[in-house]
Amino acid sequence: MYQSTRRSLKNSQGYTLMEALFQVAVFVLFSHYLILIYFWISQMNNSLLSNEHVAWEVFVQDVQKYFLNIEEITVSKRMDEVEIKQINSTDRRQLDRYGDIIRLQTNNKGYIAMIIGIKDAKFELNESFLTIKVEFQNGLKKERTFFVELYKE
């Protein structure tokens, strides 16, 4: 009991200017750190999770399933189209660039947009490896090589 009354008597001067300045300095320091962290997270989101990066990874996952059980695969001379024939199927699938999209067609009919917003796309077939190179409209370039195993009876 004696200590608590002594402490309250010792600190009976009230809220001092030094305490206020110290608290403002601490607040400003923490607010600068919060702003710095906010901009760092924003920069990381822009560099790692841009729409083009996400669209490219989704495209890669979608197109990869068409490179299984292949009987025949050809790339056009202009390197802007790939034609795929899978085993046990009469359908031929074409993966090509049309305008600013890469589309998937079946027997040259209809199409499914696989990825949009591209400036250029090239397909290269070297033995059992198909390389897809894409340049987006903002200048970002992406490239992926797929292993394509041809089915042999």
Which residue do the tokens 């409209």 mark? 137
93 phi/psi in degrees, rounded to 5: -110, 135
Strand order in the sheet with 92-98: 70-75, 81-86, 92-98, 101-106, 109-116
Query: Which segments of 3-117 are extended strands (E)?
Result: 70-75, 81-86, 92-98, 101-106, 109-116
pLDDT digits (tens, 9 = 90+) for 46-64: 777 778 888 999 999 999 9
In angstroms, rounded to a whole number, what is the distance separating the alpha carbons of residues 52 and 103? 16
SS3 113: strand
pLDDT digits (tens, 9 = 90+) for 72-129: 999 999 988 999 998 888 899 999 999 999 999 999 898 999 999 999 999 999 988 9
Which residue do the tokens 């090239």 mark? 122
Question: Model-level pTM?
Answer: 0.68
